[in-house]
Amino acid sequence: MTRRGWAVALLALALGFVGLSLGRYPTPPAAVLATLLGGGDAAQQLVILEWRLPRVLAALLLGAALGVSGAILQALSRNPLGSPDLVGIDAGAFAGMLLAGPFPGALLGGALAMLAAQGLAGGAGGLRFVLTGVGLAAMLNAFNSWVLAGAQLEVAAAAAAWAGGTLDGMEPAQLWLLGLALPLLGGALLLQRSLGLLALGDDVARGLGLPVRRARGALLALSAALTILATACAGPIGFVALAAPSLAQLATGGTARQLAPVAAMGALLLVAADLLATHLFAPVRLPVGRVTLACGGAWLLWRLLRR
């Protein structure tokens, strides 16, 4: 990773450290550092280690996961709009959650949505895949709204809160689930060369000796798994997967297929969005997914007008 990429990663960590300091019980940076190193009194350990640290770690890991997922899908579809939140993967995960529970349901629903988008597009990439995914996402969102309309009030309220995308309620016991992002991100980095070859076209990749079908399937599975993990943990969070590859390219001067800078940019975007969601209208907390969508809509409009 280049110096600019490391700078993005360090900025994400710095914002995460700020998140550990701010809140209803402000903590000086020196006290935060001492607590992270095993010191601090009982109150500081409770606030920092049990309340704030899981949330910050979730923002870093899930932001990185979403960014890499978006980079893979954009490279394979050869379209900057080929993002998991646009082609229906997170809508499918939400539908699965409504029907079968948070984690197993989200896993199954997101996987089926990815397979459906690929099947309806006939295995094609580019604009056809994106438009197919957008249509599928619209149908799934309509289905989700219909299910919520007929659900009991308590169930609908809980599902609606989760659907907004939130890092509230993250606890130390959930860190094992967040840790699943690490092997998935490692697998994506190992397949980075294959991703670069596929982005050049199937014929070129095949001519260079790449088993195209196997590599494409592995990368699509990784992209779906990263998005599904993020959705299962925090609900649908838009914009990060869409924008992180392009913003990483602008910030580092590299390509959107260099996954380490994209992961750092995704972590930075989600940590920054969570800081805004938590402290912009304190003591009211906004769902972080609503903040990312608001920023993402403005960013997408700017990008379309620029093109």
**Between residues 271 and 178, the one the model is more confident about:** 271
Angle at 228 between CA 124 and CA 181, to 5 degrees: 110
Single out the residue of 299, 275, 240 nearest to residue 16, CA to CA: 275
DSSP string, 29-75: HHHHHHHHTT-S-HHHIIIIIIIIHHHHHHHHHHHHHHHHHHHHHHH
Between CA 67 and CA 240 the distance in angstroms is 6
pLDDT band at 268 (very low <50, low <70, confident <90, very high): very high
- Domain 3-306, CATH: 1.10.3470.10
Q: Is the pLDDT of residue 197 over 80?
A: yes
Structure confidence at residue 307 (pLDDT): 65
Structure confidence at residue 125 (pLDDT): 61
- For the record, the structure tokens of 220 come out as 């699509």
Between CA 90 and CA 228 the distance in angstroms is 7
**Range with the lowest mean pLDDT among 24-28, 181-185, 244-248, 302-306?**
302-306
**Using an 8 Å Cβ cutoff, are 93 and 122 in contact?**
no
Rounded mean pLDDT, 149-162: 74
Q: Across all residues in the chain, what is the average pLDDT? A: 84
Structure confidence at residue 114 (pLDDT): 81
Residue 275, amino acid? L
Structure confidence at residue 106 (pLDDT): 78
Between CA 245 and CA 179 the distance in angstroms is 22
Structure confidence at residue 273 (pLDDT): 93
DSSP string, 133-151: HHHHHHHHHHHHHHHHHTS
Structure confidence at residue 305 (pLDDT): 77
- Boundaries of every domain in the chain: 3-306
- For the record, the structure tokens of 117 come out as 């988008």
Rounded mean pLDDT, 246-256: 82
**Between residues 125 and 270, the one the model is more confident about:** 270
**Using an 8 Å Cβ cutoff, are 46 and 37 in contact?**
no
